[in-house]
């Protein structure tokens, strides 16, 4: 599956796109972690919840559940919100 990587996470991947596999969003994030150690913690907290400042879109639809089933042909877009004052 094609995964679009936001700028703040490109220090892990070195590129704006990555390939990952898995049957659910959680599985795909686990595969990204296997390939790019440390990246998952930037998106998922210690209680296995999606971090508030990160959004996931599968084929353009927002996803809020790690158990969301995915197909190998899906495209996952990871978006990180910017904050500051």
**What pLDDT sits at residue 85?**
56
Q: Where are the domains of the chain?
A: 2-80
CA dihedral for 54, 74, 6, 33, sign (positive or negative):
positive
d(CA 83, CA 19): 28
pTM of the model: 0.92
3 state SS of 71: coil
**Does residue 54 contact residue 25 with C-beta atoms inside 8 Å?**
no
**What pLDDT sits at residue 78?**
98
Task: Print pLDDT tens along the chain (85 aa).
Answer: 999 999 999 999 999 999 999 999 999 999 999 999 999 999 999 999 999 999 999 999 999 999 999 999 999 999 998 665 5
- The answer regarding whether domain 2-80 maps to CATH 3.10.20.30 reads yes
d(CA 85, CA 18): 32
d(CA 15, CA 70): 22
**What pLDDT sits at residue 83?**
62
């Amino acid at each position: 599956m094609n995964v679009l990587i936001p700028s703040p996470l490109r220090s892990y991947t070195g590129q704006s796109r990555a390939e990952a596999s898995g049957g659910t969003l959680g599985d795909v994030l686990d595969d990204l972690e296997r390939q790019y150690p440390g990246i998952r913690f930037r998106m998922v907290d210690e209680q296995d919840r999606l971090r508030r400042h990160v959004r996931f879109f599968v084929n353009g639809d927002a996803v809020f559940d790690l158990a969301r089933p995915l197909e190998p042909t899906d495209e996952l877009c990871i978006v990180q919100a910017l904050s500051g004052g």
